[in-house]
């Protein structure tokens, strides 16, 4: 196990190195990045002085080595918009994105598992057809259209839920302020409903169909028939025998999807004015704040790689037949 984890950590390092190389060299494909740091009225002498001060007058491979050296020490450059360290800015916006992603995954998994199990147990009935219809709609409707529709219906017409805003919970917890986090929790839940439903709808549909197909396969195995022949309760047969063996493909897609949602909520965060990393990246691109975009991409890449590692380790815990070499 330790050898496997060590190998995966080494692979993760290579992936992160590749991400840094792509994001770094992509800047130079667009021309001299010095002009991002000077005003439009700067003279040629001012541009040359700024180029030398930033090190852009050196060969690009040398600049990349300096960038990696800063990355190792937690220095990803300064944001052009916030005039401070880009990594600190991204980490400040990250808790809001994590809150939204976690809420969406809780909804997606919490609803997909019972829906998928119910569809498998009632195959060919109206229940099964309804779940399959939900899966078709969830994978066909764009998230931006779903978000706008929810805003119009539940935020504007019915006025049941707020249309924008964010009440922090995770950030106070990270700062050790449990009282503030608990006080903010009721309002936070109200504000997160619409964006979380928008984010989770696609995942809910796909996960429900995946649980259904995995359960149908597990219910047809010999060990399920043996458990029923032994007189076990149907609940025990479904939960402790069939569902447990149907978890492996579900865990895989959930782990990968959490990372995908973590880095793919740009549109949803923009629609609901959610102060997360997705909206930060969107604004940084519009403002040509390249160091901030680089920092955000690297942070999300690290999170995605770590999630993949956690999923692979969970495999061995769920199924003893899986051996990690």
Residues 52-57, mean pLDDT to the nearest whole number = 76
Euclidean distance between CA atoms 264 and 286, whole angstroms: 17
**Which CATH number applies to 86-318?**
1.10.3720.10
Per-residue confidence band for 153, with pLDDT thresholds at 50, 70 and 90: very high
Residues 191-207, mean pLDDT to the nearest whole number = 87
Please determine, for residue 324, whether its predicted confidence score (pLDDT) is greater than 70. Answer: no
Decide which of 133 and 248 is more confident.
Answer: 133
- Residue in this structure with the two tokens 């005003």, named with its chain if needed: 39
Per-residue confidence band for 76, with pLDDT thresholds at 50, 70 and 90: confident
Decide which of 315 and 75 is more confident.
Answer: 75
Per-residue confidence band for 284, with pLDDT thresholds at 50, 70 and 90: confident
What's the CA angle centered on 192, arms 186 and 194, to 5 degrees?
Answer: 130
Please determine, for residue 272, whether its predicted confidence score (pLDDT) is greater than 80. Answer: yes
Please determine, for residue 58, whether its predicted confidence score (pLDDT) is greater than 70. Answer: yes
Residues 219-248, mean pLDDT to the nearest whole number = 81
Query: What is the separation of C-alpha 12 from the centre of its chain, rounded to a whole number of angstroms?
Result: 17
SS (H, E, C) the chain: CHHHHHHHHHHHHHHHHHHHHHHHHHHHHCCCHHHHCCCCCCCHHHHHHHHHHHCCCCCHHHHHHHHHHHHHCCCCCECCCCCCEHHHHHHHHHHHHHHHHHHHHHHHHHHHHHHHHHHHHCCCCHHHHHHHHHHHHHCCCCHHHHHHHHHHHHHHHCCCCCCCCCCCCHHHHHCCCHHHHHHHHHHHHHHHHHHHHHHHHHHHHHHHHHHHHHHHHHHCCHHHHHHHHCCCCHHHHHHHHHHHHCHHHHHHHHHHHHHHHHHCCHHHHHHCCCCCHHHHHHHHHHCCCHHHHHHHHHHHHHHHHHHHHHHHHHHHHHCCCCCCC
Decide which of 11 and 323 is more confident.
Answer: 11
Euclidean distance between CA atoms 239 and 231, whole angstroms: 15
Residues 253 and 204: beta-carbon distance below 8 Å: no
List Cβ neighbours of 183 (8 Å cut-off, separation of 6 or more). none
pLDDT over 70 for what percent of the chain? 93
Please determine, for residue 96, whether its predicted confidence score (pLDDT) is greater than 70. Answer: yes
Decide which of 216 and 9 is more confident.
Answer: 216
For residue 28, the model assigns a pLDDT of 72
pLDDT over 90 for what percent of the chain? 5
Residues 141-155, mean pLDDT to the nearest whole number = 88
- Residue in this structure with the two tokens 């220095």, named with its chain if needed: 75
pTM of the model as a whole: 0.80
For residue 321, the model assigns a pLDDT of 62
Residue 85 β-bridge partners? 78
Least confident of 5-14, 117-126, 142-151, 172-181: 5-14
How many CA atoms lie within 13 Å of 307's alpha carbon, on the beta-carbon side? 20
- Residue in this structure with the two tokens 């195959």, named with its chain if needed: 123
Please determine, for residue 60, whether its predicted confidence score (pLDDT) is greater than 60. Answer: yes
For the chain, what are the domain ranges? 2-72, 86-318
Please determine, for residue 110, whether its predicted confidence score (pLDDT) is greater than 80. Answer: yes
Chain mean pLDDT for the chain:
82
Q: Select from 131, 106, 136 the least CA-distant residue to 116.
A: 131
Decide which of 287 and 186 is more confident.
Answer: 186
Euclidean distance between CA atoms 203 and 110, whole angstroms: 11
Residues 40-69, mean pLDDT to the nearest whole number = 80
Q: Select from 262, 126, 144, 129 the least CA-distant residue to 201.
A: 144
């Amino acid at each position: 196990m330790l050898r496997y984890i060590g190998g995966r950590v080494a692979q993760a390092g290579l992936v992160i190195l590749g991400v840094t190389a792509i994001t770094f060299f992509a800047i130079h494909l667009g021309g001299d990045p010095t002009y991002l740091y000077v005003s439009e009225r700067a003279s040629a002498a001012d541009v040359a002085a700024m180029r030398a001060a930033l090190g852009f007058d050196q060969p690009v491979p040398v600049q990349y080595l300096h960038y990696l050296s800063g990355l190792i020490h937690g220095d990803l450059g300064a944001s052009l918009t916030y005039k401070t360290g880009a990594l600190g800015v991204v980490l400040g916006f990250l808790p809001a994105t994590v809150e939204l992603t976690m809420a969406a995954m809780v909804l997606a998994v919490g609803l997909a598992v019972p829906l998928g199990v119910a569809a498998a147990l009632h195959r060919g009935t109206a229940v099964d057809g309804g779940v399959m219809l939900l899966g078709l709609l969830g994978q066909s409707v764009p998230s931006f259209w779903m978000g706008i529709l929810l805003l119009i219906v539940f935020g504007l017409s019915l006025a049941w839920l707020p249309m924008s805003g964010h009440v922090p919970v995770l950030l106070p917890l990270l700062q050790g302020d449990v009282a503030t986090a608990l006080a903010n929790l009721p309002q936070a839940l109200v504000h997160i409903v619409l964006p979380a439903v928008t984010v989770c709808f696609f995942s809910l549909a796909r996960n429900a169909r995946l649980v259904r197909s995995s359960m149908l396969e597990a219910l047809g195995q010999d060990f399920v028939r043996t458990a029923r022949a032994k007189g076990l309760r149907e609940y025990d047969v479904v939960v402790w025998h069939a569902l447990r063996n149907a978890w492996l493909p579900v865990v895989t897609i959930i782990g990968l999807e959490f990372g995908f949602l973590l880095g793919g909520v740009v549109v949803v965060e923009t629609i609901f004015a959610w102060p997360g990393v997705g909206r930060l990246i969107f604004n940084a691109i519009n403002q040509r704040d390249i160091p901030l975009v680089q920092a955000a991409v690297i942070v999300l890449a690290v999170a995605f790689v770590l999630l993949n590692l956690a999923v692979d380790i969970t495999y061995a815990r769920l199924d003893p037949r899986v051996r990690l070499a």
